[in-house]
Chains A and B, each alone.
Chain A
Amino acid sequence: MSKLQQERMPILEALNKFKKSRVVPFDVPGHKRGRGNSELTDFLGESCMSVDVNSMKPLDNLCHPISVIKEAEELAADAFGASQAFFMVNGTTSAVQSMVLSACKKGEKIILPRNVHRSVINALILGGAIPIYVNPEMNHELGISLGMTLASVEKAISENPEAKAVLVNNPTYYGICSNLKAITELAHQHGMLLLVDEAHGTHFYFGENMPLSGMAAGADMASVSMHKSGGSLTQSSFLLVGGVIVKPGYVRQIINLTQTTSGSYLLLSSLDVSRKNLACNGKEIFKKVSQMAQYARDEINQIGDYYAYSKELINGDTIYDFDATKLSINTLNVGLAGIEVYNILRDEYDIQVEFGDVGNILAYISVGDTHQNLERLVSALAEIRRIYKKDKAGMLQYEYINPEVLVAPQEAFYAEKEALPLEQSGGRICSEFVMCYPPGIPILAPGEKITEEILDSIEYMKDKGCFMTGPEDMDIKNLNVLREV
């Protein structure tokens, strides 16, 4: 499709036309273009409320698109090099879930790295598929999980030839990419679908000198978080279908199992506008983002003790490529956990970074950043080192804990269970998730054995001030475990 067509924004155009037509609303939403809720209108603005409208003939319907949403989806598919693009309004979580549920039915196997986002394992609970975890290797110095080696995927495939799909993070939260092209070819050779979680990889489709995108690698489906590096509103996302094996009509049915029937036009139009912006200006945008990230990385590495890592980590396998727009910073040599730096930045310097874990922080750099704000981040990090630097003795090195999946996630989640104090739960099978959020990668998932090592690391993260989520007990003092028979 030509660039000229990519300049079109069918949903936005339809909404603008609709606004001018001054239709009298006797339908939902009941705020009636904001007039019925003046406080909210004052807060969000009249132009925002006036397009918070319901599906109707001139605006199409997200559940069954035939006009403007269909056109917008076609433009998006073209922009991403996909055969089909679905507009998602329930977050990338719903894109990932629809992707997994479309690929695997109850009892079928899916091969995936354990450092997936919780939404992937949620899909296993909903659909009943069985996870075959591939150990993502660790970088012990940084304390981060990496990508899957080609050999380990090969081994998982040969041990589970009946598996239906392989799922790959492209990239991880930290910016690490696996050898997507080779893994895709491998999966296809064995008749398996290749699914990509690209929650952190929207820009791969538009920037230059970026790691390979899912669609370019020949993947069958990819979940792309347009609201992260793509600039659309929070909760809006794309699910892409590539090739001809996956049937788009079936995927739409799966999406409609759980997606709202009242798709927000604020979210839909934000996807439409952002797709146009990336298709037309993406190269320049991500060039600028890459330059800003590199500038900040160089400055931070000059402070001392911090390590802002990048492409020098590339090793041809577990770190096949690195997303240099990500500003991931290891803090361990300052004597502070990443989460501690994260908290100091917010509480004392009014700087909010994306997340902090045991050893790293991630600062999200985007087109909305300015050089002055980067200076603030760099200066604050320099100050934190000057004021807080201490001996790194006693810092926990995050280790990958190979999960022992004793029961399938769905079965474990719905099984008869009992609540045990955390310290007494060792040796039992967990029936719920435990994770730090962000990044939302589970430490424990339903069906996995609780080990002393895992309990130690949960206590350490709680102690360091990580925001822990997942269990029914919001204070994470008790864990639900399977009743022993």
Chain B
Amino acid sequence: MELWFTEKHTPTVKFSIQVDRQLYCGQSEFQRIDVFDSKEFGRFLTLDGYMMLTEKDEFIYHEMIVHVPMAVHPAPKKVLVIGGGDGGAVRELTRYQAIEQIDLVEIDELVVEVCKKYLPHTACCFGDERVSVYYQDGLKFVRRCEQKYDLIIVDSTDPFGPGEGLFTKEFYGNCFKALKEDGIMVNQHESAFYQDDAVAMQRAHKRIVDSFPISRVYQAHIPTYPSGHWLFGFASKKYHPIEDLKAAKWNALGFKTHYYNTKLHVGAFALPNYVEELLRDVE
């Protein structure tokens, strides 16, 4: 018997992983949630049939979305994670003793419950006393915050379905308002390779550029996401992602990471020409 999970990366391109067994299938108010076991990628989570994370490569995404801004901001104390119900970003954040408060806003409570049960490797740190979880619309939550956070991490799904509101100008504008004067926002920024993803990436970039004085994009290699080449946005009120990198200070923390290092930090902002062009088109 062969059982395969398949996601269409475009209408004519498929990505498949052979499934050992399905562990969970449920429908929340917002989306369908599935958890599978596989030989190659270990356990993986999908929402509405789209790959969210696998045990094998989630470290790349979560290290890159957390350590890049954390190595730039000199003293981040209050952090807001929007989305990220799998707990991976929270896990990386809790490694920093200097952080005093981590608020996580996830629209779908069932995602957190399922991850706690089936993905303990990522959903391991919700019990940390600095972490508070709010189950509500990220847009609504951030609308009520003013000058409150040092760092906002937008760990969203794709810009259709429940994550749609997190790719809008009103959302980025409200994040700007919710950040302190030297705050940083990083976001899951889609990919530049396939046409539809590239359009979403450009739209998001344009809206962030409209809202923040500093807006740069960096990249990582994530094998299970469409094209494997994934982007993150770095938007900031004051700090430049490379000029303000505090490499020595970060290295002194002595964290063991599998993907991120401070040399890669600098290199990740060096983008392929076609990506630079797509970004320039909307700047």
Report A's interface with B, CB cutoff 8 A: 348-350, 371-372, 375-376, 378-380, 382-383, 386-387
Contact = CB atoms under 8 A, between A and B. Distances in A.
Given A379-B140, A380-B168, 15 more contacts: A348-B169, A348-B210, A372-B137, A372-B164, A372-B165, A375-B140, A376-B170, A378-B143, A379-B168, A379-B170, A382-B143, A383-B170, A383-B173, A383-B174, A383-B177
B279 to A, nearest CB: 20
Nearest to A345: B170
A370 to B, nearest CB: 10
Contact of A379 (B143, B162, B164, B210): B143
A40 B198 CA distance: 28
20 contacts: A348-B169, A348-B210, A349-B168, A349-B170, A371-B137, A372-B137, A375-B137, A375-B140, A376-B168, A379-B140, A379-B143, A379-B168, A379-B171, A380-B170, A382-B170, A383-B169, A383-B170, A383-B173, A386-B177, A387-B173
Contact of A382 (B162, B168, B174): B174
* Residue from B162, B165, B170 whose CB has the most chain A CB atoms within 10 Å: B170
B139 to A, nearest CB: 4
B120 to A, nearest CB: 30
Interface string B204-222: 0000001000000000000
A372 B173 contact: no
B173 A386 contact: yes
B9 to A, nearest CB: 24
Nearest to A351: B170
Contacts of A375: 137, 139-140, 143, 165
Nearest to B174: A379
A368 to B, nearest CB: 15
A298 B182 CA distance: 32
A383 B178 CA distance: 12
Interface string B131-151: 000000101100100000000
Nearest to A302: B144
A167 B163 CA distance: 47
Question: Which of under 10, 10 to 19, 20 to 34, or 35 or more describes the interface residues of B?
Answer: 10 to 19
Interface SS majority for chain A: helix
A372 B169 contact: no
Contacts of B140: 375, 378-379
A372 B143 contact: no
Given A383-B174, A387-B173, A376 B143 contact: no
Nearest to A386: B177
A379 B139 CA distance: 7
A383 B137 CA distance: 17
Contacts of A379: 139-140, 143, 165, 168, 170-171, 173-174
A348 B168 CA distance: 10
Contacts of A372: 137, 139, 162, 164-165
B162 to A, nearest CB: 7
User: 9 nearest interchain CB pairs?
Assistant: A379-B170, A380-B170, A383-B173, A375-B139, A383-B170, A379-B143, A375-B140, A375-B137, A379-B139
B259 to A, nearest CB: 33
A372 B108 CA distance: 13
Nearest to A380: B170
A127 to B, nearest CB: 48
B229 to A, nearest CB: 27
B139 A376 contact: yes
A323 B224 CA distance: 51
Contacts of B173: 379, 383, 386-387
Contacts of A387: 173
A376 B169 CA distance: 9
Contact of B165 (A348, A376, A382, A383): A376
Nearest to A377: B170
B171 to A, nearest CB: 7
Nearest to B143: A379
Contacts of A383: 169-170, 173-174, 177
Contacts of A349: 168-170
Interface in B104-146: 137, 139-140, 143
A382 B174 CA distance: 8
Choose among A348, A371, A372 the residue with the greatest number of B CB atoms under 10 Å from its CB. A372
A372 B165 CA distance: 7
A387 B165 CA distance: 19
B83 to A, nearest CB: 13
Contacts of A348: 169, 210
A384 B170 CA distance: 9
Contacts of B168: 349-350, 376, 379-380
A349 B207 CA distance: 9
Contacts of B170: 349, 376, 379-380, 382-383
A352 B3 CA distance: 45
Contacts of A386: 173, 177
A297 to B, nearest CB: 15
Interface in B157-198: 162, 164-165, 168-171, 173-174, 177
Contacts of A371: 137
Given A375-B137, A375-B139, A380 B177 contact: no
A363 to B, nearest CB: 14
Contacts of B162: 372
B154 to A, nearest CB: 14
Contacts of B169: 348-350, 380, 383
A25 to B, nearest CB: 33
Contacts of A380: 168-170
A376 B137 CA distance: 10
A349 B168 CA distance: 7
